Structure 1
């Protein structure tokens, strides 16, 4: 997917088809929208109402709901059936939090492939609104097999304006998402630090906690297959053979690992520091990293302080500390950086092209959530005078990070 397509997805509010509905006594024929306080900002509006206006209290209870898409003046979709619940880990504890949507039928939203499962990312901590968006674009431009597609929208929930959200494909096994077979020897799994897991997780020999996302309800034999393979790989990392690129290629997709490392290291993503990352593995194949996900604590942000663009983030953590002992692997990563240097540099041009389309919605967002100048109340660490200042801060951080990476890889 090209950079142009990502920008077109951003501007997806320009293209809608107006539909008609069948009246029903059991469900609404349309969902009302009052935008007198928060006027149209050139982005699609998602209007969601839960049945009987039930509150969304947690991340477990799926609340039945209706959804309709609005353009500037009128509804521009039919009323869709779905369930909605909270989503996120630390982000769910924030005043503005995200939601998980599961439609009754597969839906193609704003040109993205049909699916039932979607995520509404709150974009609360990131005052530029761009961290996730530009990183998913970067992963795609660097040749990742799959990077989540997304579109900016404004959300009205139970007739209350909730602000700017990023409607994003959720990470799952699917031919249009993580495209691996659905069988008992193909795995999508996550390195995580959560302590609330009840099943389908294991600790590796390096004491890394992994949760198996697919297959669901994994059998004991299937779980043992993955566990044993990861433990065998970690044992291999302790040997001298791990410094040989040909030997390493029997275990991992080296180019994929290098790309994933550079995306996480370049953005200095705190969650990418072996806290929350996705991986895939299929029997008789190699381990792959990704897809990329969750960059709200990246590009200088963390939960406690502003992070300098200088210094390593994940090179000495997780499996990376063993991989980088090999001079051949270090050289390969450097070669990948040099070969794709212009792609990393082009992020600043992409930001310049995208952010003007978010200036209007920033007024609605910061009116609803007046946090622009907050810097001492969690989760905020930096005060901004304007939305443009937040964007300029991001561009400055990226430019300095590229300079540091050039001299340190």
Structure 2
């Protein structure tokens, strides 16, 4: 009995003692900045973005501060203006992408270099696509854009430079992003001559896009609820923002007028070219007339040439090697958006029309399932019918031309021995995959973006490598037979 009383007394004494407090360790940078997550000794740059209590918007920029840390040490700090970006991805993805511009304390744009990339003022933060409602994700490897752009640079073509980073916005961790250059005219980006309202030589430079239409300035400042549902704006083309090819996707001259209502019954046969540089707000009437006429001259030459003969006139209007390289990268990456949206074209002063740079490869590689493994993305129109954005007739015509096919064959066979050898491509994928794995960045990303989907990042990397192996082997067989 005495032993039992002593035991109960000891229990009561212990339970009455003040519990030991375990200190909470808050992850911080070396400047005292609190982090939303613990990143340990990760070598992946960690970006902290704050917007001074204001909510990030789609239709207008808000001012904020960007801090870049490397292994928790503050490497750079910069004032920025930031907004959401994207069209379909903005509406459908729970993980939002961002545009930001580097600015001075007074709000003026200023060129700034980041992470070894040349100084400029316009930048992008692009994440993979996550849709919790419908339970799907696109680019589970987190590196589609990184890999595709690296392939392009390896073969000597400009593509947006970038680095894989982790970000938090206003104290909320957002995961892994690709921090990259906006495609724009600049000596270190799309290096073409400048063109302004006073230029007397109308031949360039121009940057055009085959793409969904941009909401015009009349939409500035509208609430995000508007942009979440503005599907009509994507197909609202007008004289201000674009011009239309005179030929439909079947290479027939179009008889109905341009700029009809969004998604009208014949929309799918049209190809529109939007003004990227000079911007729609800045391009002059004479410049619009020049570039529209140039595209028309190219198209008419492409259709008129006898492809069974030795003479070509369409090559007087285009830089053929750029079309070859664009075809190779787009097809290798199985970019389902290639040729028809997110498609850049450039024309330098006194130069020819060139394809590229490649852009927006999220829905490519192993996620490009709309296009079978054993078919060309350029054959999109035969696989998908009545999409509002189809492939221009150019690519059917080019693929029917022995001259173009031979140029692709020579280039492809050369690249497969070096820059696009399977082992070389795997090395690019492995390096990026290992960076995200060893740093813990992939694990942290999917701690918030998995939500029961049970994504295995290692498996995703292996699937990407297997896709590149299989796709390039299929291309070997097709191209070598030309």
TM-score by length of 2: 0.72
Rounded Cα–Cα distance in structure 1 between residues aligned with 2:327 and 2:338: 9
Q: Is the 8 A contact 1:300 1:306 kept in 2?
A: no
Give the corresponding residue for 1:312. 376
Q: How does 1:6-17 map to 2 (within 5 A)?
A: none
CA deviations on 1:90-117 (whole Å, 9 max, x unpaired) are: 2212100110010112111011000111
**Contact 1:65–1:84 at 8 Å: present in 2 too?**
yes
- Give the aligned partner of residue 366 of structure 1: 446
The offset of 1:288, in angstroms, is 0.2
Which of 192, 215, 218 pairs up with 2:278? 215
- Structure 1 residues without counterparts, runs of 5 or longer: 1-17, 20-29, 375-382
- After TM superposition, list the pairs within 5 Å mapping 1:7-406 onto structure 2: 32-36=33-37, 39=40, 41-51=42-52, 53-58=53-58, 60-78=59-77, 80-93=78-91, 94-104=93-103, 105-124=110-129, 125-144=138-157, 146-184=158-196, 185=202, 186-193=205-212, 194-196=234-236, 199-206=240-247, 207-216=270-279, 217-241=282-306, 244=310, 246-302=312-368, 305=369, 307-315=371-379, 317-318=391-392, 319-342=394-417, 343-344=419-420, 345=422, 346-359=424-437, 360-370=440-450, 374=453, 384=455, 386-406=456-476
Structure 2 unpaired stretches of 5+: 1-28, 104-109, 130-137, 197-201, 213-233, 248-269, 381-390
Partner Cα separation in structure 2 for residue 232 and residue 408 of structure 1 = 31
Flag the structure with larger Rg.
2
In structure 1, what is the Cα distance between the partners aligned to 2:274 and 2:311?
28
- 2:366 counterpart SS class: coil
Query: What residue number does 1:27 align with?
Result: none
- Give the 4+ runs in structure 1 shifted more than 4 A: 35-40, 241-246
Provide, for residues 273-323 of structure 1, a one-character-per-residue CA deviation record: whole Å limited to 9, x for no partner.
Answer: 422200011353211011111100100314xx5754221111574211111
Q: TM-score, normalised by structure 1?
A: 0.84
- Distance in structure 2 (CA, Å) of the matches to 1:101 and 1:159: 18
Any idea what the Cα deviations from partners look like across 1:209-246, whole Å, max 9, x if unmatched? 11111112111111111111111111111112466565
Q: By how many angstroms is 1:393 displaced?
A: 0.7
Counterpart contact for 1:201–1:209, Cα < 8 Å: yes
